Structure 1
Amino acid sequence: MTVKVPRSVGPRRAVAGAGVLAVAALLGACTGQPGAAAVVDGTAISTAEVQTASTELGPYFDGATPTNVLAVLLQAPVVEKLAAENGVGVSKDEAQAALDTQAQAIGRDVETFSDTALSVVRYSLAVTDLQALPDAADIVTELTEQVAAQDIQVNPRYGDLGADNMLGAPSFPWIVTTPAG
């Protein structure tokens, strides 16, 4: 049995179609786990968690973008561990209390936040406390080494991993901008 391939699909169309499929595959299969913004040492951080935390924290913190929230979440387990080891661990209740205080300061109603949003606040409070310790420089070195040692995969729409597994802004090389003028 033979299959006839219609001649209407020329080489240019085939190449263009393959290019579209390649771009779609790159954008869709970024982390190997559907719906994941990132995977850290086998644990997925979902796009829904990142978006929820970003939405919840946006009114309270400038720069609570999805990319910035994810950058914090990539480091949060290491920061929380180091904070606990150094006697400055932050609980969910302390994070909620900090958000309650911030809400009252800006005239908003007190809200209940998702665990992901509370993790971002715990990170922020813990980093501040770690930086105040006498051996802060050594702790920051340890933090950098532990984050660099993690196995991290990031969905490219959130950014690109740079040196030491630090998340940078996403790049969109296929978008060309022209200067205003």
Structure 2
Amino acid sequence: MRPWSPAAPKRRLRLVVAAAAVVALGSAAGCANASPSVAAYVDGTPITSKQLDAAVAGVGETVQEGQQVSSQAVLDAMVHGVIADHIAAKNNIVVTDAERDAALQGSNLEPLLPIPAAAEVARDVADQQIVAQKVGAQPYLDQVAQQQVTVNPRYGVLDEKQKLIVPESSGSLAKPASPSAAPTP
């Protein structure tokens, strides 16, 4: 046993601080892929909040006055666009611009094409349709279910099977109080 010395408490404190730093570093490493500037990850591929904001703004240019664009719906389209890209690559499928144009022609997404940020959303939707058609509906859905998707909680909660953001759900712990829950004077 070591004799007590005035430096012992300081040494012990440094060991505790060092151990805490290692634990904190280890737990942060598990979150190394998470970033507040990322809206979602699809099998490690990030969709940044900046990309989402640009897409929402682009789609917003095509809606009528008074209508709003759902960030969740746009993020769903973007997530499924990345999923379609991954499934296409896995199955050696090439989707051409001509196929995308044909899929979008006459659809309600066609007005998005002249706006670059909005066009990406339309192409994401087209890619889903084209890849699902080439792979087959059920094999496509099976491969969608296998994709690892993480959504930033501020955009909602993910339905793990379908990889869709559940509307009216939030990862937020705070919920507004209902008007009837307000205290009466």
TM range (shorter): 0.5 to 0.7
1:34 is displaced (CA, Å) by 3.8
| Structure 1 vs Structure 2 CA RMSD | 4.2
2-side partners of 1:65 and 1:42: how far apart?
24
Secondary structure in structure 2 of the residue aligned to 1:38: strand
| Structure number with higher relative contact order (C-alpha < 8 Å, ≥ 6 residues apart) | 1
1-side partners of 2:139 and 2:41: how far apart?
21
Aligned pairs, number: 143
Farther off after superposition, 58-67 or 151-160: 58-67
Contact 2:81–2:128 (Cα < 8 Å) also in 1:
no
Equivalent AA in structure 1 for residue 51 of structure 2: E
Larger CA Rg, structure 1 vs 2: 2
From 24, 31, 56, the counterpart of 2:58: 56
Contact 2:80–2:128 (Cα < 8 Å) also in 1:
no
1:166 is aligned to: 164
Contact 2:156–2:165 (Cα < 8 Å) also in 1:
yes
Q: Give the TM-score normalised by the residue count of structure 2.
A: 0.56
Consecutive unaligned residues in structure 1, runs of 5 or more: 3-28, 104-109
Q: Give the TM-score normalised by the residue count of structure 1.
A: 0.57
Task: Determine whether 1:79 maps to 2:84.
Answer: yes
Percentage of identical aligned residues:
23
Consecutive unaligned residues in structure 2, runs of 5 or more: 1-5, 10-30, 181-185
Contact 1:90–1:125 (Cα < 8 Å) also in 2:
no
1-side partners of 2:126 and 2:84: how far apart?
10
2:19 is aligned to: none
What is the 5 A alignment of 1:15-164? Answer: 32-60=34-62, 64-80=69-85, 89-91=95-97, 94=101, 102=111, 111-114=114-117, 117-127=118-128, 139-164=136-161
